[in-house]
Amino acid sequence: MLKRRVVALLTIFSLLSLPVAAQNGGGDMLTQIRKEAMERSQIMKTMHMFTDVYGPRLTGSPNHKGAAEWAVKQMTAWGLENAHLEPWDFKHPGWLNERLTAHLISPVKSPLFAKCWHGLQAPGELCRRKRTS
């Protein structure tokens, strides 16, 4: 009975210590990964391109198409093979909000400073909202 317990404890201990032993052997690899991340990271450039250059990317919009084409070009430059866009039909024309004008008409006439929130309506549709008290 005691022999079984000792064997069971040794088995459990050896199984639990295998991951620790495996990590200690790859110290050079972890150092290389950290060095790559700290010295040649492309994350800030990539985030700048997606957020500042292309901005909001509504499906089917020119920003969406430009960002997707940039991503394919960048992945190819990084050495990835077969980077390409899959053809698909959105079934709606894409649009980009270039200008929005709004005016208060009641109780006083006044220009209203507003920004169109994407996806609310299609181009050319009049945006009317009822006042809620």
* Under 8 Å between Cβ of 55 and 22: no
**pLDDT, tens digit, for every residue of 3-59?**
888 888 888 888 887 776 666 555 688 888 889 889 988 899 999 999 888 887 877
Name the pTM for this structure.
0.52
| Residues 8, 11: Cα–Cα separation, whole Å | 5
Task: Provide the 3-class DSSP secondary structure of residue 111.
Answer: strand
**pLDDT, tens digit, for every residue of 83-108?**
999 987 777 666 666 677 788 888 88
Q: Which residue has the tokens 């093979």?
A: 81
Closest C-alpha to 122, from 58, 63, 67: 58
